[in-house]
Amino acid sequence: MDANKETYIEEGVKKVLADYTQEPITLSASLDVDLGLSSFDYVEILFDLEKEFDLEIPEDDIRELETVEEIIEYIKSSKG
């Protein structure tokens, strides 16, 4: 994957998450502990990520992703 696509994914994920938290969004940030996101937020984030990246993410998958970096890597692998 080229650097432009990686940057696009990283920035897109951070943009989506910024709608749900005021905390600093770093790659290693934990969604629940560091960003303070609830399970209800996860469902909304799931829909926003699907829309942002034009892909389907099973709800079980989003619940297994614990950090910002894990979401980015998941999307990278899904987008090929």
pLDDT surpasses 80 at 80: no
pLDDT surpasses 90 at 47: yes
pLDDT in tens, 13-25: 999 999 999 999 9
DSSP label at residue 23 = S
Look at residue 46 in the predicted model and tell me its pLDDT: 92
What are the structural domains of the chain? 3-79 (1.10.1200.10)
Q: What is the pTM of this model?
A: 0.91
d(CA 4, CA 18): 21
Count of residues in the chain? 80
User: Half-sphere exposure (CA, 13 Å, Cβ side) for 79?
Assistant: 19
